[in-house]
Chains A and B, each alone.
Chain A
Amino acid sequence: MTHYLDFEKPLAEIEGKAEELRAMARANKEMDIEKEAAALDRKARDMLADLYKKLTPWRKCQVARHPERPHCRDYIDALFTEYMPLAGDRNFADDHAVLGGVARFDDKPVVVIGHEKGHDTQSRITHNFGMARPEGYRKAVRLMDMADRFGLPVVTLVDTPGAYPGKGAEERGQSEAIARSTEKCLQIGVPLVSVVIGEGGSGGAVAFATANRVAMLEHSVYSVISPEGCASILWKDSEKMREAAEALRLTAQDLLQLGVCDRVIPEPMGGAHRDRKATIDAVGKAIGVMLKDLSAMDGKALVTARRKKFLAMGSKGLAA
């Protein structure tokens, strides 16, 4: 574990001390530190459990953005076989912020689409930090269309700070591209399931997550605006992101209550990045269950149910 979040500093200290002790013991074979190191480990474990037992909404945002959290490509590689990436919007470019293609899930052919953030400086730049341009949404529309034509279920993995705010993106119709992608999500007569694996950033997320079933990882977030953006508009101070995160109700748990999210996928103790494999497996299991839920429905029923679901949204508020 190399990257600690600011609220994990005390934990980093303890884990550091344990590591130091063990390093000393390695250098000096006569030292017996096991008892002490084990005590430190225990303390670290308790502290981790304590920290993650009740994460504040802002801390959840931090965990959701953790650089070592598994990203779209990790899920595709682990959960799908025969993944055949398909590229381009047939109009302008291929957007690397959006991955997509055909693959097998549980031995059944599906179309998978997702935002990829990248895992190091180079790949982050390649994938534009998961911020899609119009071409990304148009590629998604193309893939969803294809899924619809061949009767393949669609799985989307949502992880984006939001659509890219750039000059070219605006000129090429960022808003229209997002609107069309949302529209396509509502039109296709095949099962559409979505998992928010990290950040569900505003319109850029809706464009993929207008699905029959939406699952969210325990510490993922989904919001109309980033806490920083909200703070700078409503508080006139971007440092008030903690308050904004609180007010926006962007956690998976709140969204479950509001009916925006259908299921919360538990994360390993200490967040997805502390046990990537367990997280990916849990997401795979959830996708399997959601697809199975929908497998008996025909195309028309799927479209009608999806529309009904979104039209009814907002009839439930949060308890006071």
Chain B
Amino acid sequence: MNWITNYVRPRINSIFSRRETPENLWSKCDSCGTMLFHREISDNLNVCTNCGHHMHITPRDRFHALFDGGIFKEVAVPEPLPDPLHFRDQKRYPDRMRAAQKQTGEKEAMLVGIGEIGRTPIVAVAQDFSFMGGSMGMYVGNAIIAAAEEAVRLGRPLILFSAAGGARMQEGILSLMQMPRTTVAVQMLKEAGLPYIVVLTHPTTGGVTASYAMLGDVQIAEPNALICFAGPRVIEQTIREKLPEGFQRAEYLLEHGMLDRVIDRRKMRDELIVLTRLLMKMPPPVWGELPAPGDAAPPGQAPAQP
């Protein structure tokens, strides 16, 4: 070890040595195995250019691609009690939290943003599967409630991107109580006459599916997303038979009447713009590259003709 690395304090060190570019410039598609250049992946919203497989995308990256000019305002989420049950499995819950925070650079598994998409003002909330499996605990519940309250206050539609393994076991019954809590949030939107659009992404399972993720006015899913209450392994163990091809995948749910649409992530933004404008009785959108919001027409006003 060199004296200077010893001399610089670890915290400062980590700031200086933070990589701006990913170490692995190339990565492999989980589905078809094609080697993809990192720029190619991010330009394509983490969708494989070869087979169209939808890989995970973080809420921040998703919001950058979703909002006009990549600009959004992050909504502060009320902090819940940390570790209310003093939960300990093989590790302590606070240790697991710290590890997840370090790994993702995020505070928790949900991000709330307000901004415009195609000059349409919205509130968006997205779940981060890379943060402890996106699991629903107090914070996720608070985030959804905060998002719904913002939407009601501003009179905007709410778009929710779900991705979760289910409830956060480390918060025990309090994670389960997020089912009724988030349902109250959905009711606030409905009573205010505001659209609530759910985009289910891979995977959305358990208590998340059985509450806010299934209560949308419009239910959209990304291709091949696993969407279920009980996972396929649990079901196979219960009924002891092989499940059909594509069981519990987005297309299967669409066929069974559980979804409105299955949409490619690269077309999602355009669809959401059209949908929200229709539901909000706004004039049709203006397509094309738009400048960042703020300097142009105020939201809600009719856009200029092309």
A190 CA to B91 CA in the complex, in Å? 44
A244 and B179 contact, Cβ closer than 8 Å, known pairs A176-B258, A223-B173, A258-B174: no
Residues of chain A contacted by B87 (CB below 8 angstroms): 247
Which one, B176, B213, B256, contacts A171 given CB within 8 A?
Answer: B256
Q: Is the CB of A166 within 8 A of B187?
A: no
Q: Does chain A have a CB within 8 A of B281? A: no
Q: Residues 166-187 of chain A: 1 if any B CB is under 8 Å from the residue's CB, otherwise 0?
A: 1101111111101110110111
A250 CA to B172 CA in the complex, in Å? 8
Segment touching B, from A16-24, A104-112, A117-125, A228-236: A228-236
Residues of chain B contacted by A163 (CB below 8 angstroms): 210, 229-230
Q: Does chain B have a CB within 8 A of A41? A: no
Interface residues of B in 55-88 (CB under 8 A from A): 80-81, 83-88
Q: Does chain B have a CB within 8 A of A224? A: yes
Q: Is the CB of B174 within 8 A of A314?
A: yes
Q: Is the CB of B230 within 8 A of A174?
A: yes
A248 CA to B31 CA in the complex, in Å? 36
Smallest CB-CB separation from B187: which chain A residue? Answer: A186
Residues of chain B contacted by A314 (CB below 8 angstroms): 80-81, 84, 138, 141, 174, 177, 181
Q: Does chain A have a CB within 8 A of B180? A: yes
A80 CA to B206 CA in the complex, in Å? 35
Q: Is the CB of B173 within 8 A of A224?
A: yes
A255 and B173 contact, Cβ closer than 8 Å, known pairs A203-B210, A206-B180: yes
A175 CA to B187 CA in the complex, in Å? 18
Q: Is the CB of B187 within 8 A of A183?
A: yes
A311 CA to B180 CA in the complex, in Å? 8
A247 CA to B234 CA in the complex, in Å? 23
B139 to chain A, nearest CB (A): 10
Q: Does chain A have a CB within 8 A of B263? A: no
A223 CA to B239 CA in the complex, in Å? 24
Q: Does chain B have a CB within 8 A of A278? A: no
Residues of chain A contacted by B81 (CB below 8 angstroms): 314-315, 317
A210 and B89 contact, Cβ closer than 8 Å, known pairs A183-B215, A223-B172: no
Which one, B173, B181, B215, contacts A310 given CB within 8 A?
Answer: B181
Q: Does chain A have a CB within 8 A of B104? A: no
Smallest CB-CB separation from A162: which chain B residue? Answer: B230
| B: interface residue count bin | 35 or more
Residues of chain A contacted by B180 (CB below 8 angstroms): 182, 185-186, 206, 210, 310, 313
Determine which residue in B85, B206, B230 has the highest number of CB atoms from chain A within 10 A of its CB, and name it: B230
A225 CA to B89 CA in the complex, in Å? 14
Q: Is the CB of B86 within 8 A of A318?
A: yes
Smallest CB-CB separation from A183: which chain B residue? Answer: B183
Q: Is the CB of A179 within 8 A of B85?
A: no
A-B contact count (CB 8 A): 166
Q: Does chain A have a CB within 8 A of B17? A: no
Q: Does chain B have a CB within 8 A of A165? A: yes
Q: Is the CB of B181 within 8 A of A224?
A: no
Q: Is the CB of A170 within 8 A of B183?
A: no
Q: Does chain B have a CB within 8 A of A243? A: yes
Residues of chain A contacted by B89 (CB below 8 angstroms): 234-235, 243-244, 247
Q: Does chain A have a CB within 8 A of B145? A: yes
Q: Does chain A have a CB within 8 A of B99? A: no
A318 and B238 contact, Cβ closer than 8 Å, known pairs A186-B184, A206-B179, A258-B173: no
Q: Does chain B have a CB within 8 A of A260? A: yes
Q: Is the CB of A165 within 8 A of B176?
A: no
Q: Does chain B have a CB within 8 A of A320? A: yes
A175 and B214 contact, Cβ closer than 8 Å, known pairs A224-B172, A248-B172, A249-B85: yes
Determine which residue in A163, A248, A314 has the highest number of CB atoms from chain B within 10 A of its CB, and name it: A314
Residues of chain A contacted by B207 (CB below 8 angstroms): 202-203, 206, 224
Q: Does chain B have a CB within 8 A of A222? A: yes
Residues of chain B contacted by A187 (CB below 8 angstroms): 187
Q: Does chain A have a CB within 8 A of B90? A: yes
Smallest CB-CB separation from B87: which chain A residue? Answer: A247
Q: Does chain B have a CB within 8 A of A242? A: no
Q: Is the CB of A317 within 8 A of B177?
A: no
A247 CA to B91 CA in the complex, in Å? 12
A224 CA to B228 CA in the complex, in Å? 17
Residues of chain B contacted by A167 (CB below 8 angstroms): 235, 239, 241, 243, 247
Smallest CB-CB separation from B93: which chain A residue? Answer: A247
Q: Is the CB of A224 within 8 A of B214?
A: no
Residues of chain A contacted by B213 (CB below 8 angstroms): 175, 179
Q: Does chain A have a CB within 8 A of B44? A: no
Q: Is the CB of A313 within 8 A of B234?
A: no
Q: Is the CB of A233 within 8 A of B248?
A: no
Residues of chain A contacted by B176 (CB below 8 angstroms): 202-203, 206, 223-224
Q: Is the CB of B173 within 8 A of A260?
A: yes
Smallest CB-CB separation from A202: which chain B residue? Answer: B176
New contact pairs (10) apart from A174-B229, A185-B180, A314-B174, CB-CB < 8 Å: A167-B241, A179-B214, A183-B215, A186-B187, A230-B169, A234-B90, A247-B87, A249-B85, A255-B173, A313-B174
CB-based closest 7 A-B pairs: A165-B230, A317-B84, A175-B209, A234-B89, A175-B229, A178-B210, A224-B176
* Chain B residues near A (Cβ < 8 Å): 80-81, 83-90, 138, 141, 145, 167, 169, 171-177, 179-181, 183-184, 186-187, 206-207, 209-215, 228-230, 234-235, 238-239, 241, 243, 247-248, 256-258
Selected A-B contacts with CB under 8 Å, 8 pairs: A165-B229, A175-B213, A176-B214, A248-B169, A250-B172, A260-B173, A260-B177, A314-B138
* Chain A residues near B (Cβ < 8 Å): 163-167, 169-176, 178-180, 182-183, 185-187, 202-203, 206-207, 210, 222-225, 230, 233-235, 243-244, 247-250, 255, 258, 260, 307, 310-311, 313-318, 320
